Structure 1
Amino acid sequence: MSALDTHFAEREVVVGDGVRVACRVGGTRGPVIVLLHGISSGAASWLPCASLLAASARVIAWDAPGYGRSTPLPMAVPTAHDYAERLEQLLDALRVKPDLIVGHSLGALMASAYAAHASEAMQPDRFLLLSPALGYGAAGKEEKSREVARQRIEALETLGVDGLAQRGPARLLSPAATADARAWVSWNMARLNADGYRQAVALLCGDDIGRYLQERTKPVEIGCGAEDIVTTPAASAGLAQRFNLPFHAIPSAGHACYIEQPHAVAQVVRGALLPA
């Protein structure tokens, strides 16, 4: 917690009339790396990985709309494009052009929408998608979309945020994960906002990553924890093959790979920067 406050401090940025985005910033020089968390997390969750990257880069991790102190999006059923627009507003307010955007899980869906729709002036050189959530909005997935939405919202209403946080590590980490990694997953999940989570579920169940990746103009790489049971290595590798993208398997890591194996993920991130 001391490192979180001193090396990855939170700040709030005003991006519109009454609209705020909370983010955490580490490092003072070098390329700008933007980190986007998934549906069950927040900006602070990136601390172990961001601390490694901040020695040679400026690292910015946001709390997505509806997470932390970030203002929710105005619509009940947002698309990834809506989140991407808010991200571009944040980066514009910070007066930074990203060199690399890294999206994890649902954050990968947001990053893909950014790749497809952000202005050329604010496009990074490359994107890295970690354990990407594919979304259930494509044609033919209607039944699966309804079932996932029902399960997610039912779990939230039955267990509450605290209950989700208690069961999170077993699903998001490999069986060999350390006690520290498990505690960190739970700590971050316990800070979810229920309404922001509901919006994110609507995004997950109503959008499709493929529609954005086919419109991208910048290089994209994909990585996945080798023991991920949420967005499986097979699904991530299949997405990479579909769009002819480089794929990286991250050994001994579950879904929250950047928490469980921060050194390995930091190495993949640095590698993604090298071609640029």
Structure 2
Amino acid sequence: MFDANAFPSRFLSGIGYREAGGAHAASLPVVLLHGIGSGAASWVQQLDALGATRRVLAWDAPGYGESAPVASASPQAADYADALRGWLDALDIERCVLVGHSLGAIIAGSFAAMHEKRVAGLLLLSPAGGYGAASEEERAQKRDSRLAMLAELGPQGLADQRSANMLSSNASDAARDWVRWNMARIVPQGYAQATHLLANADLASDVARYRGPVAVAVGTEDRITTPQACERIAQAAGVPLRLVEGAGHAGYIEQPDTYNALIGSFAQQETKA
């Protein structure tokens, strides 16, 4: 069910990624962006299922896996969006359906606001809103507490102590192990930069600027980006919030069939648009 070797890591334009569905190159690609404590391999169930009918790609964000970090120690969302643009250019992908989970939603939203014509549809799963609109005191507190936790625990310690928060109480042991495996492989420098990104970003502002199709979904058992927090993002996008019953933060890992159907349906709808 969870096999990192099923879709071997590739490397292009400074970005590591995994890909499925190459035989469906004529279809509109789906691009999957992971969250702060994860990586491209977390999407293996989506690569397997969705890759049967279309091209699907999952990147390791800058500073994750083998991907080169962004230049700034305290980056903005636009820095990651620029890296995404360069990678898509290298892949000759002019237009795609963009799916962002948690922190990946921040990058997806920034890219969509900057390059609207290249995004056929924007699907945000348990989106992290960022703290860019908060007070400087709150932004610093959120940033510094996460950086202190990283310094104290390291990747393996984070995985051991924090990975359970990503899932609902009903998640399988296999799902828990997979979340822990992915989290243990974060690169400290990349995670630190992503922590600054989270402090600097304002996803609501970006999705309000994007005029293409948007959907926002969250699990009812998400304790990290709660339904209440995700409602603000949905309102900024002008769309109803979709609730996935019983799913935690990493719902696409613990309820793959539900999320595969959600992503597939959204992508199919935007392909016809």
Query: Under a length normalisation based on structure 2, what TM-score does the superposition of the two structures give?
Result: 0.93
Identify the residue that residue 70 of structure 2 maps to in structure 1: 73
Number of the residue aligned with 2:194: 200
2:173 corresponds to which of 179, 183, 186: 179
Task: Kindly indicate whether the alpha-carbon contact (under 8 Å) linking 2:221 and 2:247 is maintained by their aligned counterparts in 1.
Answer: yes
Q: 1:49 aligned to 25, 46, 57, which one?
A: 46
Residue in structure 2 matched with residue 100 of structure 1 by the alignment = 97
The CA distance in 2 between the partners of 1:207 and 1:3, in whole Å, is 33
Point out where structure 1 has 5 or more consecutive residues left out of the alignment: 15-19
Q: Which amino acid aligns with 2:138?
A: K
What is the match of residue 232 of structure 1?
A: 226
In structure 2, C-alpha distance between the alignment counterparts of 1:177 and 1:141, rounded to whole Å: 36
Q: How does 1:140-159 map to 2 (within 5 A)?
A: 140-159=134-153
Contact 1:177 1:260 in 2 (8 A): yes
C-alpha displacement at 1:211, in angstroms? 2.1
Matched, 1:131 2:162: no
In 2, are the aligned partners of 1:22 and 1:70 still within 8 Å (CA)? yes
TM-score by length of 1: 0.92
| Residue number in structure 1 paired with 2:9 | 10
Secondary structure at the counterpart of residue 9 of structure 2:
strand
Shift of the alpha carbon at 1:176? Answer: 1.1
Unaligned runs of 5+ in 2: none
In 1: Cα distance, 2:2 partner to 2:191 partner: 27
Identity of aligned residues (%): 42
**Could you tell me whether the CA contact under 8 Å between 2:46 and 2:260 is conserved in 1?**
yes
Moved more, 263-272 or 35-44: 263-272
Q: Is the 8 A contact 2:31 2:56 kept in 1?
A: yes
In structure 2, C-alpha distance between the alignment counterparts of 1:204 and 1:189, rounded to whole Å: 17
Give the corresponding residue for 1:216: 210
Among candidates 245, 248, 251, match of residue 257 of structure 1: 251
Residues matched between the structures, number = 267
Rounded Cα–Cα distance in structure 2 between residues aligned with 1:75 and 1:222: 29
Q: Is residue 34 of structure 1 aligned with residue 28 of structure 2? A: no
Greater Cα shift, 77-86 or 236-245: 236-245
1:105 maps to amino acid: S
- Given that residues 220 and 246 in structure 1 are in contact (C-alpha distance below 8 angstroms), is that contact kept between their aligned partners in structure 2? no
Distance in structure 2 (CA, Å) of the matches to 1:74 and 1:102: 24
2-structure distance, mates of 1:45, 1:148: 25
Alignment deviations for residues 26-69 of structure 1 (CA, whole Å, 9 cap, x no partner): 11213310000000000001112221111111110000000000
Q: Distance in 2 between matches of 1:260 and 1:141?
A: 35
Letter of the 1:205 counterpart:
A
Does the aligned pair in 2 maintain the 1:83–1:110 contact within 8 Å? yes
| Aligned residue identity for 2:130 | G
Give the one of 159, 162, 167 matched to 1:165: 159
Give the SS at the match of 2:56.
Answer: strand
The answer (yes or no) to whether the contact 1:32–1:100 under 8 Å persists in 2 is yes
1:58 corresponds to which residue?
55
For 1:178 and 1:212, the matched residues in 2 are separated by: 35
Rounded Cα–Cα distance in structure 2 between residues aligned with 1:40 and 1:2: 17
Distance 1:100 1:119, change over 3 A: closer
| Cα RMSD, aligned residues only | 1.5
